[in-house]
Amino acid sequence: MRTLVPFDATNPKTRLAPVLSPGERAAFARRMLQDVLSAVRAAGGEPAVLATESVECSAPVTVDKRSLDDVVNDRLGAAEGPTAIVMADLALATADSLAALFGTDGDVVLAPGRGGGTNAIVSRHPAFRVDYHDTSITDHRAIAAEIDARLREVDSYRLGTDVDDPQDLAEVLLHANGEAAEWLRAAGFDLAIEDGRVGVTR
């Protein structure tokens, strides 16, 4: 399946600023992107990166500085056939979790992310458009209803875990085995327990 992977190449992962320098955030974000591209391919998808500026990676890159919604919706409007949109910070994504997404019937298939996000989508309906602001999962449900699209949601912890905050780095160390996890370990990150909750230490 044709799979759009939007990527902020300009100032990625700002919420990780408390634990990573700007250069480190850029490096780590690229490792996550690479993991996502590998998983998409292993699941039978054909990834295409939509980036805010040029980035070196293993998939074709289109540079487009407009807003995420504009960039993705242009592609959805021009798409012939099913199109997936998968966020570039799903460091826990695997071939299996993405194959389950791609293989789920429905005009619109959503993978919810923590905090009301929509971490991955399959659209098989020509009128479906994205709206990633705020609580996007409720917006996407509403958009699917408006166009009478048959909606399905996939239940995946791996697709539901996007890496935004320092605490999310623990999820990468606990559940991922790709380049991002390797980069974190090489940078000296390890799991740490504080107040009975797991986080990371460096």
The site for a second copy (CB under 8 A) is made up of: 94, 96-97, 100, 111-112, 114-116, 134-135, 137-138, 155-161, 167, 170-171, 174-175, 191, 193, 196-198
Q: How far is the CB of 134 from a second copy (least distance, A)?
A: 5
Both tokens of 158, joined, read 């791996």
How many whole angstroms separate alpha carbon 198 and alpha carbon 192?
A: 6
Q: How far is the CB of 165 from a second copy (least distance, A)?
A: 9
Q: How far is the CB of 90 from a second copy (least distance, A)?
A: 12
Q: What angle do CA 168, 17, 165 make, to 5 degrees?
A: 20
Residue with Cβ nearer a second copy (63 or 198): 198
Helices assigned H by DSSP within the chain: 22-42, 68-78, 95-102, 136-146, 157-160, 166-175, 179-186
Residue with Cβ nearer a second copy (145 or 157): 157
User: Residue 116: which H helix or E strand, with range?
Assistant: none
Residue with Cβ nearer a second copy (63 or 174): 174
Residue with Cβ nearer a second copy (8 or 75): 8
Position 109: which residue type?
V
Cβ contact 158:93 at 8 Å: yes
How many whole angstroms separate alpha carbon 191 and alpha carbon 202?
A: 9
